[in-house]
Amino acid sequence: MAELHDLSALDLWRALQAGDTSPTEVTEHALDRAERLNAHLGAFVTVTADAARQRAADVESGRARTGRLWGLPLADKDLVNRAGVATGFGSRAFHGVVAAASDELVDVLDAAGAISIGKTATPEFGLAGYTEPLATGPVRNPWDATRGVGGSSGGAAAAVAARILPFAPGSDGGGSIRIPAAACGLVGIKPSRGLIPSASGVTSLGGLSVGGALARTVADSALLLDAMIGRENGRIPHHYALRAPDDDDGDLLGAAVRGEGRFQLGILTNTPFDDELDIVIDPAATAAVSEAASRYTDMGHGIEEFALEHDGRYGERFRALWHASAASLPVDGVQLTQLEPLTRHLVERGRAMSARELTAVLGALSEFERSVIRQFSRFDAVLTPTLALSPRPLGWFDADDPERNFRQQCEYEPFTSFVNVAGLPAITLPVGQTPDGLPMGVQLIGRPGEEATLFALGAQLERRIRWQSRAPG
User: Pick from 117, 227, 130, 118: which is nearest to 175 by CA?
Assistant: 130
Active-site residue flag, 77: yes
Helices (H), 387-450: 402-412, 417-422
Residue 209: active-site member: no
Which member of 102, 153, 171, 176 is catalytic?
176
Q: What is the pLDDT of residues 244-277, one digit of tens each?
A: 333 445 699 999 999 999 999 999 999 999 999 9
Per-residue b or e along 157-187, where b marks 16 or more CB atoms closer than 10 Å to that residue's CB = bbbbbbbbbbbbbbbbbbbbbbbbbbbbbbb
Spell out where 245-388 has E strands. 264-268, 302-306, 381-385
Cα(464)–Cα(281) distance, rounded to whole angstroms?
A: 25
Angle at Cα 326 formed by Cα 373 and Cα 141, nearest 5°? 80
Q: What is the pTM of this model?
A: 0.96
Using alpha carbons, list the distances in angstroms from residue 73 to 91, 123, 162, 163, 341. Answer: 25, 23, 14, 11, 35
Q: Quick one: pLDDT at residue 241?
A: 39
- Using CA atoms, how far apart are residues 92 and 108, in angstroms rounded to an integer? 29
In this predicted structure, the answer to whether residue 353 has a pLDDT above a threshold of 70 is yes
Q: Which of 8, 77, 171, 417 is catalytic?
A: 77
* Those residues with Cβ within 8 angstroms of residue 86's Cβ, 6 or more apart along the chain or in another chain: 46, 95, 96, 97, 98, 99, 119
Give the residues across from 196 on adjacent strands. none
Among 22-26, 170-174, 235-239, 278-282, which stretch is predicted with the lowest mean pLDDT?
235-239
User: Is the CB of residue 386 less than 8 Å from the CB of residue 441?
Assistant: yes
Q: Are 215 and 224 in contact (CB under 8 A)?
A: yes
3-class SS at 275? coil
* Each residue's pLDDT tens digit, 410-468: 999 999 999 999 999 999 999 999 999 999 999 999 999 999 999 999 999 999 999 99
Task: Give percent of the chain above pLDDT 90.
Answer: 93
Q: Which domains does the chain have, with CATH numbers?
A: 4-469 (3.90.1300.10)
Q: Which of 152, 192, 209, 390 is catalytic?
A: 152
